[in-house]
Amino acid sequence: MAFDLTRSRFFGPLIKNPLWQGTIRWFSLAALVALLVVAWGRTTLPGIADSWPLIYTNATTLIFWVLWFMGLVISVPFFGRLWCSICPLGFVTEKLGKIGLNVKWPAPPFNWLGAISIFLVGLGGALYWNVHKNPAATAIFVGLALLLAVFSGLVWRRASFCGLFCPIGLVLSIYSRFSPIYVAAKDAGKCASCDDKACTARKSRWKRWDLGPSLVIQKQMWEGGCPAALTPRSMDRSACQLCMECVRNCSRSNMAVYYGGKNSNHPFSTPALVLFVFLMGLVTLALSRTWPALRDALIPGIHPPAWVSALWLGAAVPALFIFAAPLLTHFGEKFSGKESSGPSDGSAPPRLEEGEKPLTLWERAKIAATPFAGVVFGGHTALALVKLNAKAPYAQYLVYDPFGAASYMAINVSKTLPLPQMIVPLAVLKWVAIFALALGSLAGLHETKTAWKNSLGPLGKLLGYLSFALLAVFYAALIRHWLFG
Ligand code: SF4
Ligand code: SF4
């Protein structure tokens, strides 16, 4: 059962009044700039042999890679993409989009190659250049992202950085399909008969600046409309950034924020499926580091170079898991002549009727891949819980020394500060991590009922369930070896 938060005495006024959201967005932008300053030029400490002394004592590396990055994953089951409603980069691009050139977004694949490339650069940066351990490198990475948000806001319309370049938004859209919070129309019939479409309507107005007797500047400004260019009444809810604009602007008060039930049954979008392959790779690589012997046994060849291992576990194995069952069904149906049609409501495609187009392999994969997101989400949550539990306690020293050098010396050299202890004992946390993986896997298993109903044939389903079970058992074995071993 879903609860309409706009009717709540507490949440209703918060959702309808944009002031709180605007205030938090300004605050998060100020915090982002402060984090860049705190990390700028800081990498090593003179006379200290440790290669990455500031990894957990510098505010930027700790907040960006541990508290925010890991906290975001853990927050999704409860708050979905709510982060996007207060994200500083989304704020910058959206604000500048109101006064920028207002150019239309490029056509596919140019509207998503940027996000995938940034994800891969971030992944490569972490694997090979240890960006996540180095405050100065982190500041450059985040600073470049901020510059790109400024640039895209000035060039393209709406929240263009989010739509064109942000891999975090894509990851959140993949995971948030399992979250209980979403925006939807209360009555779809009202939307169908609505003539002003105020929820999505974008208004323009001319602004004039008189800068002297002979200098007058006039500029067209854009306001309102969905920053993600969605049609709220029929959108894929996992693409919604929960900005609440449509809820506030609907002239009939027909848009609401719901809590409870399932967020989205839509297939993956093309960028989400491409990114999902690498996301599964990231989680698999991170978990398999905890059991090097098993990892090495899974990689073909003896002592292969690091890039072969990364490509194998980070891309080839995930692609096998994701595409094996759709491939089997697709070619099985092609040879037997029994083809199924494209999805009617985005959840499960019916059998092919006369005149309908059969599903392409790519469309089939976009539907059939969604259940695997549950297992990957569970594995990612387990990783995030362990990291946060062990490293978040370093935050207690940030108030006194956000740069991290003094607290590193006090903890590791003079030993005048104690080494921060875990928040929850490992004996408890290991069960929480396994529980997170089990919950994610169950959510994925539940998704197979709709996603595989018509997108996979009997043999495809068999292979799908085998792959699904293999992935879940593989992650469980790694977590068991890591935390229970
Ligand atoms: S999509 Fe990315 S940049 Fe946009 S609001 Fe979400 S996290 Fe921020
Ligand atoms: S659908 Fe509504 S809440 Fe979602 S991003 Fe668009 S305007 Fe914001």
- Ligand 1 closest atom vs CA 81: 6
Per-residue pLDDT tens for 327-337? 999 998 888 87
Are residues 190 and 221 in contact, defined by beta-carbon separation less than 8 angstroms?
A: no
pLDDT of residue 344: 47
Give 444 Cα–ligand 2 centroid separation in angstroms.
Answer: 26
DSSP annotation of 8 reads S
Give 72 Cα–ligand 1 centroid separation in angstroms.
Answer: 12
Is the predicted pLDDT of residue 395 greater than 90, yes or no? Answer: yes
* Residue 400, φ and ψ in degrees, nearest 5: -85, -30
- Ligand 2 closest atom vs CA 183: 3
Give 244 Cα–ligand 2 centroid separation in angstroms.
Answer: 6
pLDDT of residue 127: 82
Query: Can you tell me whether residue 242 is helix, strand or coil?
Result: coil
Give 162 Cα–ligand 1 centroid separation in angstroms.
Answer: 5
Per-residue pLDDT tens for 412-445? 999 999 999 999 999 999 999 999 999 999 999 9
Best substitution site from 73, 79, 83, 87 to test ligand 1's pocket, by max atoms within 8 Å of Cβ?
A: 87
DSSP annotation of 187 reads -
Please enumerate in sequence order all residues whose Cβ is within 8 A of that of 217, keeping only pairs 6 or more positions apart, or say none. Answer: 208, 209, 211
Confidence of residue 346 (pLDDT cuts 50, 70, 90): very low
Per-residue pLDDT tens for 1-21? 789 999 999 999 999 999 999
Please enumerate in sequence order all residues whose Cβ is within 8 A of that of 183, keeping only pairs 6 or more positions apart, or say none. Answer: 232, 237, 240, 242, 244, 246, 247, 255, 256, 257, 258
Give 295 Cα–ligand 2 centroid separation in angstroms.
Answer: 42
Residues paired with 220 in a beta bridge: 206
Find, among 105, 139, 117, the residue nearest to 33 by Cα. Answer: 139
The structure tokens 């070619």 sit at 331
Are residues 437 and 378 in contact, defined by beta-carbon separation less than 8 angstroms?
A: yes
pLDDT of residue 370: 97
Q: Give the Cα separation of 21 and 70 in Å (integer).
A: 23
Average pLDDT over the chain, rounded to an integer: 91
Is the predicted pLDDT of residue 347 greater than 60, yes or no? Answer: no
Cβ-count burial 136-164 (b if 16+ within 10 Å, e if not): bbbbbbbbebbebbbbbbbbbbbbbbbbb
Q: Give the Cα separation of 365 and 453 in Å (integer).
A: 13
Residues paired with 184 in a beta bridge: 256
pLDDT of residue 213: 76
Q: Give the Cα separation of 411 and 48 in Å (integer).
A: 13
pLDDT of residue 342: 57
Confidence of residue 210 (pLDDT cuts 50, 70, 90): confident
pLDDT of residue 98: 87
Find, among 144, 154, 77, 73, the residue nearest to 114 by Cα. Answer: 144
> Using a 6 Å CB cutoff, which residues line ligand 2?
183, 226-228, 230, 232, 235, 240-246
pLDDT of residue 203: 82
Q: What is the mean pLDDT of the segment spanning 286-296?
A: 92
Best substitution site from 242, 255, 264, 266 to test ligand 2's pocket, by max atoms within 8 Å of Cβ?
A: 242
Is the predicted pLDDT of residue 226 greater than 80, yes or no? Answer: yes
Domain ranges of the chain: 1-264, 270-484
Q: Would you say the C-alpha torsion 376, 378, 379, 381 has a positive or negative sign?
A: positive
pLDDT of residue 218: 79
Is the predicted pLDDT of residue 353 greater than 60, yes or no? Answer: no
Give 225 Cα–ligand 2 centroid separation in angstroms.
Answer: 8
- CA-based diameter of the chain, in Å? 79
In whole angstroms, how large is the CA radius of gyration of the chain?
A: 24
Per-residue pLDDT tens for 101-125? 999 999 999 999 999 999 999 988 8
pLDDT of residue 355: 59
- Token readout for 463 is 């292979």
Share of the chain above pLDDT 90, in %: 74
Q: Is 87 in the pocket of ligand 1 (CB under 6 A)?
A: yes
Q: How does DSSP assign 409-471, residue by residue? A: IIIIIS--SPPPPPSS-HHHHHHHHHHHHHHHHHHHHHHHHHHSTTTS-HHHHHHHHHHHHHH
- Ligand 2 closest atom vs CA 235: 1
Confidence of residue 45 (pLDDT cuts 50, 70, 90): very high
pLDDT of residue 343: 54
Q: Give the Cα separation of 414 and 229 in Å (integer).
A: 55
| pTM of the predicted structure, to 2 decimals | 0.92
CA distance to 113, 170, 277, 346, per residue, from 274 (Å)? 10, 10, 6, 18
More confident residue, 343 or 407: 407
pLDDT of residue 47: 92
Query: Can you tell me whether residue 254 is helix, strand or coil?
Result: coil
Per-residue pLDDT tens for 55-105? 999 999 999 999 999 999 999 999 999 999 999 999 999 999 988 899 999
Is the predicted pLDDT of residue 301 greater than 80, yes or no? Answer: no
Counting Cα atoms < 13 Å in the Cβ hemisphere of 265 gives 18
pLDDT of residue 340: 65
Is the predicted pLDDT of residue 244 greater than 90, yes or no? Answer: yes
Q: What is the mean pLDDT of the segment spanning 275-294?
A: 95
298: left (phi over 0), alpha (psi -120 to 50) or beta: alpha
